[in-house]
């Protein structure tokens, strides 16, 4: 029986992140993907130019349309930039008793563009965090959530513990932005800390990594993996997608979600084209 996973997130016009990345990930990992669009962004490999939120009423109707027709095995939540949007999503998840919720607290784009309105961070922490089985903040998002500065592995561990106390089941703080040749992520399940190490791949083409990771975790949870197993498997998938990333566009190209199907021809080309 095919597993069904829903993404609740924003749209990326260049196809490398957001809902587009999530749906590609679902397909690559063998689950059926569905979507609720929360915002439409104008962005490319160079950054986010602008975005416009979808109305809470339409978000509510999208959630109802999916859950009233199809059994949902896991939910990934990405860009939710307004308090009223967050409240509508919370109501929907509670109403339909959603399981295996993975929250990617998207607050900033890779280029530094702020993607949340006033009050959204507090609403996300209070409203969605307690419903999530896993939350996946990067360093900057973990700093904002835990209200501490993070510059070392010990800081990451401290932030992970603080965020867990906010009511989420499991926390993965991603350390890819810290200095060094090796990246370390910290995972905490409420009892034990685990550390996931991986080699940093020398490429600028990492557009969509956060979205891809959280949607991969949701996919593996839908397929019945234990939480840590889902996280570790998702990290392996994302690392390979970065290894085979696309050198397209003038900025940070997207990871290759379908590398398993494209073979060596999908590896990043030499960057010399003006338009990619």
Catalytic status, residue 174: yes
| 164-to-8, 75, 99 alpha-carbon distances in Å | 22, 19, 18
The catalytic position among 85, 206, 235, 253 is 206
Q: Is 166 exposed, middle or buried (0-12, 13-18, 19+ CB in 10 A)?
A: middle
Pairing state between β 193-199 and 182-188: antiparallel
Backbone angles phi, psi at 81, to 5 degrees: -100, -5
For residues 147 and 158, is the Cβ–Cβ distance under 8 A? no
Distance, in Å, from the CA atom of 237 to the CA atom of 108, rounded to the nearest integer, reads: 23
Name 58's Cβ contacts closer than 8 Å, sequence gap at least 6. Answer: none
Catalytic status, residue 206: yes
Catalytic status, residue 14: no
Both structure tokens of 268: 């990043």
Catalytic status, residue 15: no
Distance, in Å, from the CA atom of 100 to the CA atom of 62, rounded to the nearest integer, reads: 19
| Tally of residues, the chain | 276
The catalytic position among 10, 209, 212, 253 is 209
The catalytic position among 174, 175, 212, 249 is 174
The catalytic position among 208, 212, 235, 249 is 208
Catalytic status, residue 209: yes
Query: Residue with structure tokens 């095995």?
Result: 73
The DSSP call for residue 228 is: H
The catalytic position among 18, 210, 249, 253 is 210
Both structure tokens of 218: 């949701």
Count of other CB atoms within 10 angstroms of residue 153 = 16
The catalytic position among 25, 76, 160, 211 is 211
The DSSP call for residue 166 is: T
- Nearest to 140, CA basis, from 101, 166, 112, 120: 112
Q: Kindly list the catalytic residues.
A: 174, 206, 208-211
């Amino acid at each position: 029986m095919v597993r069904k996973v829903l993404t609740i997130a924003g749209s990326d016009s260049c196809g490398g992140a957001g809902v587009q990345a999530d749906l590609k990930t679902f397909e690559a990992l063998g689950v059926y993907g569905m979507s609720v669009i929360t915002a439409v962004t104008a962005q490319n490999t160079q950054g986010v130019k602008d975005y416009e939120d979808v109305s809470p009423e339409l978000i509510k109707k999208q959630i109802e349309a999916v859950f009233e027709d199809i059994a949902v095995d896991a939910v990934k939540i990405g860009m939710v930039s307004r308090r009223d949007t967050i409240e509508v999503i919370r109501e929907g998840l509670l109403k339909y008793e959603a399981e295996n919720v993975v929250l990617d607290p998207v607050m900033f784009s890779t280029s530094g563009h702020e993607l949340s309105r006033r009050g959204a961070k507090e609403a996300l922490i209070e409203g969605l965090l307690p419903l999530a089985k896993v939350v996946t903040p990067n360093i900057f998002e973990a700093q904002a959530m835990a209200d501490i500065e993070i510059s070392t592995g010990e800081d990451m561990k401290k932030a992970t513990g603080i965020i867990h106390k906010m009511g989420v089941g499991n926390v993965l703080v991603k350390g890819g932005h810290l200095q060094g040749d090796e990246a370390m992520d910290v995972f905490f399940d409420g009892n034990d800390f685990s550390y996931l190490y991986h080699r940093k791949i020398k490429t600028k083409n990492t557009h969509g990594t956060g979205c891809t990771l959280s949607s991969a975790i949701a996919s593996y949870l839908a397929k019945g993996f234990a939480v840590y197993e889902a996280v570790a498997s998702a990290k392996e998938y994302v690392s390979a997608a970065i290894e085979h990333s696309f050198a397209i566009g003038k900025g940070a190209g997207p990871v290759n979600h379908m590398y398993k199907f494209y073979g060596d021809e999908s590896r990043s080309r030499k960057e010399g084209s003006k338009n990619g």
